[in-house]
Chain A
Amino acid sequence: MNTSLSWIRQYVPDLDVTPQEYADAMTLSGTKVENFVRLDADLQDIVIGQIEKIERHPDADKLVICQVNVGKERVQIVTGAPNVEEGQKVPVVLDGGRVAGGHDGKMTPGGIPIKKGKLRGVESCGMMCSIEELGSSRDMYPEAPELGIYIFPEDAVIGESAVHALGLDDVIFEYEITSNRVDCYSVIGIAREAAATFQKEFHPPVVTKTGNAEDAADYVKVTVKDERLCPRYCARVVKNVKIGPSPKWMQRCLAANGIRPINNLVDITNYVMEEYGQPMHAYDLATIQGQEIIVRCADKGEKFVTLDGQERMMDDTVLMICDSEKPIGIAGIMGGENSMITDQVQTVLFEAACFDGTNIRLSSKKVGLRTDASGKFEKGLDPNNAVAAIDRACQLMEELGAGEVVGGIVDICSQTKEPARVPFEPERINALLGTEISQEEMLDYLAGVELSYDEATNEIIVPTFRQDVACTADVAEEVARFYGYDKIPTTLPTGEATTGKLPFKLRIEQVARDIAEYCGFSQGMVYSFESPKVFDKLLLPADDPCRRAITIANPLGEDFSIMRTTSVNGMLVSLATNYNRRNKNVRLYELGNIYLAKELPLTELPDERMKFTLGMYGEGDFYTLKGVCEEFFEKIGMKEKPQYRPDGGYPFLHPGRQADIYYKKKKLGYLGEVHPLVAQSYGIGEKAYLAVLDIPTLLPLASFDHKYTGIAKYPATMRDISMVVPKEVSAGQIEAMLTQRGGKLLESYQLFDIYEGSQIQKGFKSMAYSIVFRAKDRTLEDKEVNAAMKKILNGLESLNIRLRA
């Protein structure tokens, strides 16, 4: 919503503030000024001058030399403008002044300084200006010539400010109006707020009774078939219409609000729409068959050609304005080509109605047409505003001599709207705001925005244009706005103390981040939705449960159309981005949900599972990543050794380099090397590794409860064994054997060498472990250790392992 300061001043004449003061105070009282533009910001020293004499330039065919009376003096100006004549009054920028732009309409920020100079040898002192050079356009000043200097009417006063005469000494404010303040989508609404904000008197337009002795009802009959969608429909008639330009003052008002003046009739409807926030429509009564208006829903599939010449498809929820035979307009959105006003119009039918906001919003979307009018209707207008607006339009028709207003109004109103009443509870208001504002002061603030007080019932009476005020909290906001949010004290909540808490799950996630970062992984974030194509990219079979993804009904496109069921794609895309940009040794982690439907289509909320995903390429391998996982497990109190089972069968991982991770028989997740084909299709040209851990599974296993177990007092005995191991026997099997056979005395073991190659028989590998034995209560004797070792070696033998010679 935009308004000019001058238009606001029409209703708040005492308003005497700078644009900045206005913007600041309005913003603080709730009408947020987004920004403001001074129309004359780049205009300086521009006066009305009269051309007294024109001579030809001696050395240039296209230039003339003008002697111009600018009031205080007479100046010589050389111009190439084609339209100058002696006696004309024109805008003149004096030597040292500034204009806003060129005559081609291009604006120069800061303006263009005009200096005395010579044009083809002849001195020129200043410049005569076109409307474009003054920063506006012929759209806004239709009387301006197409090419050349703007010409003032004869009564313009020489020497006075041309900027003022053109109404360019104005400021345009742009507001952000919140959706609850429909009334502020109008100049009157904003002026009312301005008056209350600056505590000045508010003078809304005085609408006088208009119309001859005839009755509009004799000209037109109105039937509303759907009263829910059209609670009020008002029609008035103006005959003997004389189409012509509207007066300058109206053109200036419209131009300042960015609306192009057209003719008196169109300008009046636009003017009233701006002023009252009530869209209006004018029909040529001659085009209305049967002199009858019927408001009804369209037939399904009905086609209709709107004012802009477009054919549009309706459905049976779109409300239409029809005559006795055919539709003539889409209610609240746009009129039809078939009832369009032409310059030959004799009798005009004005329509001011109230339509259901939601219906207009939905219809506008269905029809694919959003207009100024629909934008206002969809906010839900006050039905009482329609009468005020239509009477105002008729008054203007009469005042401007644009036609003869027919008496009476056809007003089909199914819901009369009465002012709402809200109990006045000053104590509750103070209790809610934390203030001690007196009852009288509150009532003063409320009266400023026409919320009156009924002493008899102790109620606040809310005018119908304030549909947003319905309870004491709403009244409290009105009080607070004009008392000033800045004057409300600042305190901290009293009452029962509460403890700040971070839930266990979030603490675990915090540790996950810490560990990942200690290990060199940086945190990435990815979207929760992705493309259904990712399943093929990950080589998942057709029946893979991952493919049972939740689909978004209105996605931003196929690439964002399903809720992810795996975090793998996001990580691979991130790694690929880095690989593409030649980043070396990349390590990333991500903490984010996947979404698993309990059933499809969705009837209840899905299972949202937080996944801790790690991905890397460059330095490090499978075991590096495995190490990171184990650091994490240990840090969250999972101190037993996890098991790794190589049979997860993840198709996007290398078949021989992947493992499911188990802890106390619970599957925590998996890790592995990315399958070369998958890496290739993502564009990762190196070996990449992934680990995915399921946080909800980890939670019951994790704990921050640490127990100290004492530091060994007695010495340990260490034995190294070097073995030849069949290739298919895994370290896990050997270690399980060590644990099982080593008994209580076994403290720890460590693999310190593994080798496969020429020294070792094919199908075997060499492995060497260092095994540590210790007793808590004594120094171990050799024979005890020997006995333990013997058990271990027997066990290993059963795995076809032999000691190396």
Chain B
Amino acid sequence: MDMKQKLQELHEEAVRKIQASEGLERLNEVRVAYLGKKGELTALLKGMKDVSAEERPVVGQLVNETRNKIEGILEETKKKLEAAALEAQLQEEVIDVTLPAKKAQIGHRHPNTIALEELERIFIGMGYEVVEGPEVEYADYNFTKLNIPEGHPARDEQDTFFINSSILLRSQTSPVQARTMEKGKLPIRMIAPGRVFRSDEVDATHSPSFHQVEGLVIDKKITLADLKGTLEEFARELFGPETKTKFRPHHFPFTEPSAEMDVSCFKCGGVGCRFCKGSGWIEILGCGMVHPHVLEMCGIDPKRYTGFAFGIGLERIALLKYEIDDMRLLYENDVRFLKQF
């Protein structure tokens, strides 16, 4: 049998064995058996010495070709087997994706803070600066400079906590208006969030301590129309683009004209439900044009400047928006409550 035929047979045999290999290990054994140092092809090569000198290059080339062919098939088969092995492994690794998640224990913000950050975001976007003022405040700022003179019923002890006759716990965030105006830097666009105090016994809808967000804009040519436009924008941003607003005349000593703003009930869309007590509207805030006396007392010329102010009850927004039915929950700090926000 000549070399050529031997190679041919070897090749066929190798291909058969390669194709019959199950798994990468078996394939490797086949590779070693044919192509390894002690493999059959190598053994065959040893027979080259018997080949005549002139035939050698031809046979040599034939040997190399055979080797290449076998290597090609080996490689091809290896890839197939690897793919099959991976497939098998992936099959093996199937998990139950419905098993419980492993969560990092992340804490939760207070609903008041969530509402506040929402408000701050909206007004900062409209060019407002966030300002703070003292919680223990002079009666002068809480009342007198807001057009609530001595003897005015709003100064009544039954609503306000007093430290002494001239220092009290602020009953509104409006004193920050006076403080900001007095600084004399115009124009003003600010909001002042903060804690306020009223002498109300604790129950589901009252708390002796709660939060307000005061807003103030002072500039030349500020109008009631600007107030309406700004607060409408705010309401749509906070409660959704479909929100409608209604301004009703009202009275606050430090604004004139004054108004209260209602928004269309975000629960029923304004048709009337238990939430809005059937009216379709929910009272959200008080507002108005800064009273000329207040401007004067704070050193601003009411003939040159006008402005508007508004005050929002933060808890009211939080309770409404998150459908919390008892104000006491906000100060109990039960984690089962806090975790829901």
Contact = CB atoms under 8 A, between A and B. Distances in A.
Contacts of A361: 153, 156
B28 interface: no
A554 interface: yes
A471 interface: yes
A114 B264 CA distance: 40
A526 B107 CA distance: 17
Nearest to B260: A32
Nearest to A178: B251
B333 A501 contact: no
A496 B224 contact: no
Contacts of B40: none
Given A28-B248, A527-B331, A578-B333, A473 B226 contact: no
B130 A602 contact: no
A29 B250 CA distance: 9
Interface in A541-599: 550-556, 560, 563, 574, 577-578, 581, 583, 585-589, 592-593, 595
B54 interface: no
Interface in B127-165: 127-132, 134-138, 151, 153-154, 156-158, 161-164
Contacts of B224: 432-435, 480, 488
Given A30-B249, A518-B106, A601-B164, A526 B335 contact: no
A704 B333 CA distance: 31
B138 A517 contact: no
B102 interface: no
B151 A358 contact: yes
Given A491-B226, A498-B129, A602 B167 contact: yes
Contacts of A556: 199, 201, 208
A528 B197 contact: yes
Contacts of B209: 527-529
Interface string B320-341: 0000000000111111101100
Interface in A1-49: 27-30, 32
Interface string B288-310: 01011100000000000010000
B240 interface: no
Interface stretch (A118-126, A502-510, A747-755): A502-510
Contact of A490 (B125, B128, B225, B306): B225
Interface stretch (B5-13, B63-71, B78-86, B227-235): B227-235
A586 B250 contact: no
Contact of B130 (A501, A554, A583): A501
A606 B107 contact: no
Contacts of B151: 358
A503 B208 contact: no
B174 to A, nearest CB: 16
Contacts of B156: 361
Main secondary structure of the interface of B (DSSP, over half): mixed
Contacts of B136: 550, 563, 595, 602, 605-606, 608
A552 B162 CA distance: 6
A485 B247 contact: yes
Given A492-B226, A501-B129, A577 B257 contact: no
A519 B256 CA distance: 48
Interface residues of B, number: 84
B195 interface: yes
Contacts of B107: 516-523, 587, 589
Interface string B234-261: 0000000000001111110000111100
B19 interface: no
B108 interface: yes
A368 interface: no
Contacts of B130: 501-503, 506
Nearest to B167: A602
Given A493-B217, A552-B162, A486 B135 contact: no
B113 A523 contact: yes
A605 B249 contact: no
A260 interface: no
B110 A525 contact: yes
- How many chain A residues sit at the interface, stated as a range, is 35 or more
B161 A554 contact: yes
B138 A488 contact: no
B228 A490 contact: yes
A757 interface: no
Interface centre among B107, B129, B167, B208, by most chain A C-beta atoms within 10 angstroms, is B107
A499 B333 CA distance: 36
Nearest to A510: B117
B223 A433 contact: yes
B106 A493 contact: no
Contacts of B157: 554
B229 to A, nearest CB: 4
Contacts of B306: 431-432
Interface in A339-363: 357-358, 361
Contacts of A491: 223, 225-226, 228-229
A133 to B, nearest CB: 27
Contacts of A365: 158
Contacts of A371: none
Given A556-B201, A583-B335, A477 B223 contact: no
A423 interface: no
A683 interface: no
A132 B106 CA distance: 61
The 3 closest A-B pairs by CB, nearest first: A434-B225, A434-B223, A30-B249
Interface of A: 27-30, 32, 178-181, 357-358, 361, 365, 378-379, 431-435, 468, 471-474, 476-477, 480-481, 485-486, 488-503, 505-506, 510, 513, 516-529, 550-556, 560, 563, 574, 577-578, 581, 583, 585-589, 592-593, 595, 601-602, 605-606, 608
Interface of B: 104-110, 112-113, 117, 120, 123-132, 134-138, 151, 153-154, 156-158, 161-164, 167, 169, 187, 189, 195, 197, 199, 201, 208-209, 217, 219-226, 228-230, 232-233, 246-251, 256-259, 289, 291-293, 306, 330-336, 338-339
5 contacts: A433-B225, A476-B257, A522-B335, A592-B195, A605-B134
Given A522-B339, A529-B209, A602-B164, 11 more contacts: A178-B251, A358-B151, A431-B306, A494-B221, A497-B127, A498-B128, A527-B209, A553-B164, A577-B333, A605-B138, A606-B136
